[in-house]
Amino acid sequence: MNKKNILIVSIVVVIAVLGFMAYRQVAAKKAAAVESSATETAVVERGDLSMTVDASGSIVPRAEIGLAFTTGGRVAETLVTEGEQVETGQPLLRLDTQDLEWQVEQARLSVSIAEYDLSDMRDDYYEESDQVKRSKAKLEQVQVSLQQAEWRLEQATLKATINGIVTALFVEPGEMANSGQTVIILSDLANLDVDVNLDETDVARIEMGMTVVVTVDAFPGLEVNGEVVEIAPTADVQ
């Protein structure tokens, strides 16, 4: 007999035993009713059984992101402070742009020279000549260099990518910031999650969409309603 059959039989047996016990109780009550007409009776009603699971956890932002400059340099100014509310696209920090601005000016000058040379070649040679083709290629090359220089200058200003709160600021004006180094952290505190660790017994009772009530020790009496939105696919063995 396999496990499934054993389970089914066990359930049937339990139901039969409970039925027999219920029958004996009913029979006993009927016998008592015959002996005494003053015995009180009650109607059996169906009710709902509810269970609660109590657990502690930690409140974390729904979104938290660390930002870094794509190009390194010296921090010229910080435009926000820790705890400040920021919006998407808002400037946060700026690098020293003196060298970058010079590179942009040099690139623009090179484009102007290349445009003049191409115009001059077109006056002296036909459009499909090698001289004109070389001038066109040179112009395209310096135009790409200008675009790159302007992009580096734009990247020298770090902007917010989400609406949130500045929860950490790691650099000050005058300090160096390397490319890819996290210099600021933004957290979306308007949307919070509660991460809770449950033992295996309680996990079996939890389903997606279940209602939860969150209380915070720092604010006695405050209750916030929520719902289960994610259940970890694997257990964290401790």
pLDDT in tens, 200-220: 777 777 788 888 888 888 788
pLDDT band at 19; cut points 50, 70, 90? very low
| Neighbouring residues of 119: CB distance < 8 A, sequence distance ≥ 6 | none
Question: pLDDT (tens digit, 9 = 90+) per residue, 166-187?
Answer: 999 999 999 999 999 999 999 9
Q: Among 27-41, 54-68, 163-177, name the one with the lowest average pLDDT.
A: 27-41
Inside any domain, residue 2: yes
Inside any domain, residue 14: yes
Q: pLDDT value at position 53?
A: 74
- Domain range enclosing 209: 57-61+190-227
Instruction: Give me the mean pLDDT over the 103-113 stretch.
Output: 97
Inside any domain, residue 24: yes
Inside any domain, residue 151: yes
Inside any domain, residue 160: no
Measured distance CA(118)–CA(132) in Å, rounded: 6
* Closest C-alpha to 153, from 108, 112, 186: 108
Q: pLDDT value at position 24?
A: 43
pTM higher than 0.85: no
- Count of structural domains, the chain: 3
Structure token digits, residue 26: 């009913």
| Mean pLDDT score across all residues of the chain | 80
Inside any domain, residue 76: no
Inside any domain, residue 181: no
